[in-house]
Each structure stands twice: as structure tokens, then as C-alpha cells.
Structure 1
Amino acid sequence: MSPEILRWSAFTTVPEGGNPAGVVLDARGLDDVEMQRIAADVGYSETAFLQPGIEPGDVTVRYFSPLAEVPFCGHATIASAVAHARRHGPGLLRYATPAGPVQVQTEAGADGTVTATLVSVPPRTVEIAADDLDELLAALRWSRPALDPGLPPRVAFAGAWHPVVGVASRARLATLDYDFDRLAALMGARGWTTVALVHRSDDRTFHARNPFPPGGVVEDPATGAAAAAFGGYLRELGLVTPPVTLTVHQGDDMRRPSLLTVDVPAGPESGIAVSGAAVPLAD
């Protein structure tokens, strides 16, 4: 029997915004080859495959891009959790992901909008090698003077690894035009999932773009995993004073506006919370 394949867009309240994800709410019986084939057929940056556990709320989930499995995907987590809530009712889900346990709370608003909040695995931030930064900037066709000295380049993790590069000019971020093959080669060699390119508008507001060539996708319009990693990066480097709530705007330059809310708790080992709405898409 063929699995039911749903299509949802995360971090938006309208189908024209957000980041589309494939969702299979019951993937029991599917093997790796079948999941990879489905993800390629769907064609979105990720498809989430859920396998319900014995206890209510326990879910094993795997994420596949059109080209390969990834350890964690934030927007597909939000999309699948909202889709699950629409079918089974809101509440707490305990996702067992390849990156570790992730709790997801879904809630229905008075207007019927369902939102989900994921709490990431404990984040980490490491230095980026000078040679890697040079190659990254070359692939982006950026130079060091374009960077924001207040957001030093690092590689951040909250389920998947993402270089974080802050740019001083919003206009430079808007005109992103990178070398796909060159960036894909570097990211594949280093095990990076997306690159978080960010511009700081004010103390709590950021604009972001996320190239994703390892997944065969030029760019993600909303990247929950990178937003969680970015929240951990800001906390570890002392660039915010937690607890703090941040707003990340993404997808505007792709004409798929997305809104990600990032809650950064004070505990240094605490996971980062990322929240957003999701809406169904037509097949």
C-alpha cells in the first residue's frame, strides 16, 4: 500500500510563504531506498518520515533531502508536527531524530492557526578554519570587508552543522549570487548542512538566507535547524543576554517570506526553542 504523502509549508500562515516540506505521517514499512525515492519525487528541500511509537506522542522521524538523508531538519519538524496536530489533536510530541531527542509542542490558536515549537538538542559552536572561511567567502563571491565584525564567523550545531557568516549590509544579503558547485564541494567535504548568512537589523531582529547545495537545493526559504544553531551561537559568544526571544526573517528575497521565532534560554546546555506556524499545500 502506498504511503500518504502530505505537503506543508512551515514558518508561514499562507501557502505562498514559508518553506515547503513533504510529510509522511506513517512511514512504517518504508526502507531507506523508498524514503529517498519519495523525497526525490516530492522535490522539496526535505521530507519528514514519521514512525509512531508504542506510547502516545513518541515518534521516530527521519529526514531526507532530494539527494541524501540529513540528521535533523527544523522546518520539516514544524510542518510534520502541525500536520500531526491537525489530524490527531495538538499536544506534546517526542521526536527521536538521528541527531537526538527533540520535543515538539503544538498549540491551536483561537483563529484556528496551529503553531509548533521545537526544542533542539544542546547546541555547540566551534571555530571555522581560516582556509575554510577563505574558500567559503570565495564560493559566496564575498570579501572580508563585507562581513559584520559583530557577528564573527563560526560553525554552529543544534542537530546539524551550519557555518554562520554575518554580513554588514542588508543589500549585500539581498543580492546573494553564489557558486553552487564550489560551495557544494566545500560543504560536502566538511559535513555542513546549510550556510546561515545573517544580517542583524537590531538587537533581537535578524534577516537570514540559507544556501543548501548538499541537498540539491539552491536555497531554503526557512531553516529551523540553522535558526536553532544560530541561537546557540549568539548565546555562546555572548552576543545576546538570555533569556531572550529573537525574530528571524527569511525567504523575503525569494518571495517566500518566512517568520521564525527563536527563544534562547539562559542555561548553557539548554536546547534552543524555534517556533512557527504551518499550512497545507495543494498536491
Structure 2
Amino acid sequence: MAAFRYVIADVFTRTPLTGNQLAVFTDARGLDGENMQALTLELGFSESVFVLPAEQGGTARIRIFNPREEMPFAGHPVLGTAFVLGAPLQRGVVELETGVGIVSVVLERDEGGAIAFGRMRQPVPTVEAADERAVLAALGVQGSELPIELYDNGARHVVVVLESEAALAALRPGGDAVAALGVTGLNAIVGSDGSWRSRMFWEGGEDAATGSAAGPVACHLARHGAVGWGEEIVIVQGVEMGRPSTLHARADGRDGTIEAVEVGGSAVVVARGEFSL
């Protein structure tokens, strides 16, 4: 019987029991994909990460699973894993090999040397038109303040801009309707200048903090002139779930072309455990 240790972190928050939950198995050698999927289902979080030796020159290779399937990329698993690995390795930069290539996370420390914030350089997403009628019907709203588009950075996110926080709070999309869109997440946002509120829905329900969507949100707002290129925005998510989260995002580009995407936030380790298999 082998023991597999894991760390539980709350991501995109500095406050335990808020943010988005993540389990990180710090040494997943000896686990196959079937075991990883079963462990993810057992824990019940939106994602779990399994750390393996690097193969492409990064700090480590990771495999990311949600309760249904493996994912090539997801934001809060990457950031949370960087926090978990960065502390014992005493690294300022953690480079994680994902299904979409190496994602680099720069870690910032406080005066006491503890990791306080991380900034990940995300894959630049492709952009394509979305089926606006189907998206609006799934969300249960009449329209969007900006065009509705699909962004793919290894996760596929649709972004809809609503007119008020009341409209955002009233959303109750069904899982089947979201699943029929064929996307990772259906994101509804509202705000102005650098301050935004967001909710992300997927076929399994709602997500407390979606790092893979925060980058596309910044891209969408910059491409359509709602914020400036290179301007950092702050996104608050998870409020309606009782797990408030704070994400920072910035898109660099020009003339509608995205050149770089950065998403940042904090994380806190709240528990450690072990499975015997």
C-alpha cells in the first residue's frame, strides 16, 4: 500500500475558507490517470492537481482534473500549485508544465519571506465568434453590453457583460443549458474602470474563482475599449457562493491583437492529508 500526500489550498484569497478550493498531490508518481480522476471525485473540489517530475525543463509537470475529466489548463490550479511548491523549493519563479505548455508564475514575498502574491503568464487566447442567441438563452438574459465572444487559452470561456450587479446576482442558468454550449465556462461580468464583479457557470454548477477566465475577461474588455491595454483590473468572484475571491488580470496588446496575458492573486494553505492506496 502506497501513501500519497496532498495539500489543500484556498486560491485567489488571503483568508482561509474563502476563494476556490484546490487539492495538490505533491508527488503523484505511482498514480495513473484513472486513480487521479477517482481521487479528484473523492475530494469533490472543482479541480485537483497531481505533481510529477518535469519533462520539458520546467520546475514540475502537473496534471489537472475536475470531477469529470482531465483539463489541459486551468488558472486557480496553476496559481495554487505555484504557492504550494514555491515555499519548500524557495523559488521566486515556478514554471509548470501543463497541457498547453509551460506556464510561468512569478512569486512575490512579504517582509517575513512568506509568499504573498503570484502572477502567472497565461497562454494568449484565440478569439472567435460565439452563438449569441444560445449564450443569452443559457444565461437567461436579453442582451450583453459588449459583443459576445469565445476565448480559448486551453480552457474555453464565453464572456457576457451585464448592465447591473442586480442582473448578475439574479442569474440562475441550468447546467444542461451551459453544457450544450460546449464551453468550459459561461462568464457574466459587470463593472467599470478597474473594478469588476464576475460569476462563472459550468455544467457542474458555479465556480468561486476562475483564473483561466480572468485573463480572457481582461482581453475582452481591452479589445472592446472598456479598459486600456496594459491596465490591471480587479475581479471579485464567488460572492453569491459565500466564497469571495479576488483576481487581478491584465492584457497587453494593440489594435485588437492580444500580445500577453497576466493573472495574479494570493493563496493560503489550509490543510494537509494523505491517501493510502
- Please give the TM-score of this superposition, normalised by the length of structure 2: 0.90
Equivalent residues, number = 268
Q: Choose which of 130, 134, 140 in structure 2 pairs with 1:128.
A: 130
Post-superposition Cα deviations, 1:95-154, rounded to whole Å, max 9, x if no partner, equal: 22112221111222125353221101112221113xxx322322222222xx32xx2211
Distance 1:25 1:89 in 2: 15
Instruction: List aligned pairs for 1:63-212, cutoff 5 A.
Output: 63-110=64-111, 112-129=114-131, 133-144=132-143, 147-148=144-145, 151-184=146-179, 186-187=180-181, 190=182, 192-200=183-191, 202-212=192-202
Instruction: List aligned pairs for 1:232-247, cutoff 5 A.
Output: 232-247=219-234
- Does the 8 Å CA contact 2:74/2:211 hold for their aligned counterparts? yes
Relative to structure 1, the CA distance from residue 270 to residue 28 in structure 2 (aligned partners, 3 Å threshold; closer, same or farther) is: farther
1:2 aligns with 2:36: no
Distance 1:92 1:257 in 2: 27
Q: Counterpart amino acid of 1:272? A: V
Instruction: List aligned pairs for 1:202-281, cutoff 5 A.
Output: 202-213=192-203, 216=204, 218-266=205-253, 268-281=257-270
Q: Which of the two has greater helix per residue? A: 1
- Does the 8 Å CA contact 2:10/2:268 hold for their aligned counterparts? yes
Distance 2:118 2:30 in 1: 27
Q: Counterpart amino acid of 1:249? A: V
Relative to structure 1, the CA distance from residue 271 to residue 95 in structure 2 (aligned partners, 3 Å threshold; closer, same or farther) is: farther
Any runs of at least 4 consecutive aligned residues in structure 1 with deviations exceeding 6 A, and if so which? none
The CA deviation at 1:7 is: 0.9
Distance 1:174 1:110 in 2: 38
The CA deviation at 1:49 is: 1.4
Secondary structure of 2:34's aligned partner: helix
Relative to structure 1, the CA distance from residue 57 to residue 135 in structure 2 (aligned partners, 3 Å threshold; closer, same or farther) is: closer
Distance 2:220 2:230 in 1: 14
The CA deviation at 1:246 is: 0.8
Percent identity over the alignment is: 30
| Two-structure CA RMSD over aligned residues (Å) | 1.9
Relative to structure 1, the CA distance from residue 40 to residue 98 in structure 2 (aligned partners, 3 Å threshold; closer, same or farther) is: same
Q: Which of the two has greater strand per residue? A: 2
Which moves more between the two structures, 203-212 or 46-55? 46-55
The CA deviation at 1:173 is: 0.5
- Does the 8 Å CA contact 1:162/1:195 hold for their aligned counterparts? yes
- Does the 8 Å CA contact 2:40/2:48 hold for their aligned counterparts? yes
Distance 1:84 1:158 in 2: 23
Secondary structure of 1:30's aligned partner: coil
Secondary structure of 1:4's aligned partner: strand
Q: Counterpart amino acid of 1:194? A: G
Q: Counterpart amino acid of 2:109? A: A
Distance 1:94 1:88 in 2: 12
Distance 1:108 1:234 in 2: 30
- Please give the TM-score of this superposition, normalised by the length of structure 1: 0.88
Which moves more between the two structures, 51-60 or 158-167? 51-60
Secondary structure of 2:271's aligned partner: coil
Distance 2:16 2:68 in 1: 25
The CA deviation at 1:51 is: 1.3
Equivalent position of 1:42 in the other structure: 43
Post-superposition Cα deviations, 1:37-74, rounded to whole Å, max 9, x if no partner, equal: 11111111011112132788522112100111112110
Distance 2:128 2:7 in 1: 37
Distance 1:276 1:153 in 2: 26
